[in-house]
Structure 1
Amino acid sequence: MASFTPQEFYYHLRWRARGAQPGAHATCTPGGGTDFAGHVPFMDNPDPRRLDLRASLRVIPRRYVVRSFFERGAIVVYALLDLSASMRFAGNAEKKRLLADIAAAIAWSSTRHGDSFSLLACDDVVRQDIFLPPSFRRGLAQELHRKILDTEIRPQSGATGLPRAIEQVRPSRSLVFLISDFHLDEVLLSNTLTSFSAHDVVPLVLWDSSEYRDLPEWGWARVRDMEGKGERSIFLRRSLRREIEQRYLERKRELKKLCRQYGARAPFFIEDKFDAGLLTRHLLEAS
């Protein structure tokens, strides 16, 4: 089997991390980092190397002051996977393989960034068989890539377990990548975003162009709801194809609005293939 090399992307936090683990992110913890915090009296931090004579001359009443800095710290980065039956879809791409590629990229990028990584997955329950606790281990990305590809996505399963995944998340604020096709009803999605509102949530939306764009303009087609709501035949025509495309555009606007409403980041839409460079641009521009 050919070795798998994950893609790498970069992210930036809009908030200060909390935690004792050294890392790359700004924190609120005073220490020996490089983020300037301000000046404090010399007796509060008696370090002659940080004595600032010019600032001391400006202080009233006169006293010696030293420069103080914040530590740099690490966070936990979570990948939260939707393993409902709709994620079995395979058109121009296979959604389960996309899940594996993206989760591996998150694990690879976070551990190289100095952060720990944890994997969560849900269908109608929180899937303990695929759970990975926070870890800095080397080789984690390749391991979980194989693990996801070997995982069964159960037929006719939903995603009602997503809000309960918060029980596996540490209380300190974390970065959470929510990966799904977001073919979820509004109540479930609202409950999920509410559950994770204390964290920095990045929705990654997996769509396939064959779901709505690469449709024939004329003829019969057999469609099946992958979450167990049956099959039916439809007669495709140009007006119906435009209507389907329009509904996806409306869904995109709805998702953006809902994410703003619950404090999540703007969703990043992935169609047919994952490009880590585009995700980097999306994350840095949003920051």
Structure 2
Amino acid sequence: METSDLLKRVRQIEIKTRGLSSNIFAGEYHTAFKGRGMTFSEVRAYQYGDDIRSIDWNVTARYNHPYVKIFEEERELTVMLLIDVSASRNFGTVSKLKKNQITEIAAVLAFSAIQNNDKIGVIFFSDRIEKFIPPKKGRTHILHIIRELVDFYPEHKATNISVALQYLTNAIKKRCTCFLISDFMDDHDFEHPLIIANKKHDVVALQLYDRREKILPPVGLMYLTDAETGESVWVDTSDKKVRDEFEAYGIERDKELDRIFKHAGVDMASISADEDYVRSLITLFKKRGAGY
């Protein structure tokens, strides 16, 4: 992409997603993703109704009057985006490629993070780690992330989510909130690495899909190519049995994903490439906020 076109695209995404994160997601994000705990703020004189367990006995002894410790919620988070950049993201049959939807959602999450004074970092992965952007704060850092989202070209086409989760677990030492953004078209078993990652961090899964990956239209013979393996096959979509088997396979795949996420204790939202992702994200945030 030419530099001028890239900057224009980055600017368009910034205007749209920064507005969404400011006007729509700010409160929901703050509630859904809390800090790591409580941090000491100050001491003050004991007041009627204060919890006696919060009394600071050293200060109390010094002044011969009861004082209590005051704590505040530690708000600062580290947010990591684990973004699938395998070849299957370059698919879209309606208004958007999955890649473009992923870019906007990641940008919204990034702006939501910095507006809450959180650090944000990114791990791009295919069947290996393609690029790691360490977590930082600030608008300049966010624009760097968006440029990479728009114009990053991976070296490999396949998918291995386990590799990304293992890298996250090893590379990020302190607990973080992690958004795993993928279509989850992965033949590898990533359940165990997901469980381990979610014990150390707070993992949230966002599944991006195209409707034609679930239901085939009856349009006759179609020549389909797997973007990741290069394998091709002719499919007769006028055959109802073929369409029914394809749909049944998609349903079973989604059921298995749902089972994996529930077993791992991971919240998940499924978002179509051509739908408005705002409602799905707000529903997810409210669900998490209600759980605190």
TM tier relative to shorter chain: 0.7 to 0.9
Q: Paired residue for 2:158?
A: 157
Offset of residue 188 of structure 1 = 3.2
Deviations 1:69-123 (A, max 9, x none): 3222211011001112212223222122122111111110011012111111111
Q: Which moved more, 1:195-204 or 1:160-169?
A: 160-169
Unaligned runs of 5+ in 2: 1-7, 44-48
Match of 1:275 in 2: 277
Distance in 2, matches of 1:37 and 1:269, equals 45
1:198–1:241 distance in 2 versus 1, CA, 3 Å: same
Bigger Cα displacement from structure 2, 147-156 vs 113-122: 147-156
Tell me: CA distance 1:172–1:115, structure 2 relative to 1, closer, same or farther (3 Å).
same
Tell me which residue corresponds to 1:59. Answer: none
Alignment of 1:32-181 (within 5 A): 32=42, 38-39=51-52, 40-41=54-55, 43-46=57-60, 65-73=66-74, 74-92=76-94, 93-128=96-131, 131-154=132-155, 156-159=157-160, 161-166=163-168, 169-181=171-183
Q: Distance in 2 between matches of 1:115 and 1:46?
A: 36
Seen in structure 2, the aligned counterparts of structure 1 residues 42 and 165 have a Cα distance that, compared at 3 Å, is closer
- Looking at structure 2, the residues matched to 159 and 254 of structure 1 have their Cα atoms a distance apart, in angstroms, of 17
Q: Mark the CA change 1:101 to 1:37 in structure 2 (over 3 Å): closer, same or farther.
A: farther
Cα offset for 1:32?
4.3
- What secondary structure is seen at the aligned counterpart in 2 of 1:241? helix
Instruction: Decide which of 261, 264, 272 is 2:263's aligned counterpart.
Output: 261
Aligned length, in residue pairs: 257
Corresponding letter in the other structure for 1:143: H
Q: Percent identity?
A: 23
The structure with the greater share of residues assigned to helix is 2
Q: For residues 180-199 of structure 1, what are the structure 2 equivalents within 5 Å? A: 180-199=182-201
- The TM-score with structure 2 as length reference comes to 0.77
CA deviations on 1:166-189 (whole Å, 9 max, x unpaired) are 266422211000000001125135
* CA distance in structure 1 between the aligned counterparts of 2:220 and 2:39, rounded to whole angstroms: 64
For residues 175-224 of structure 1, give each alpha carbon's deviation from its aligned partner in whole angstroms, at most 9, with x where no partner exists.
000000001125135434434431110000000112223x3225111111
Give the partner amino acid of 2:287: E
**RMSD value, Cα:** 2.9
- What is the CA–CA distance in structure 1 between the aligned matches of 2:55 and 2:194, rounded to whole Å? 46
1:37 and 1:134 map into 2 onto residues whose CA distance is 39
Consecutive unaligned residues of structure 1, counting only runs of 5 or more, are 18-26, 48-62
**TM-score calculated relative to the size of structure 1:** 0.78
Residue in 1 that maps onto 2:218: 217
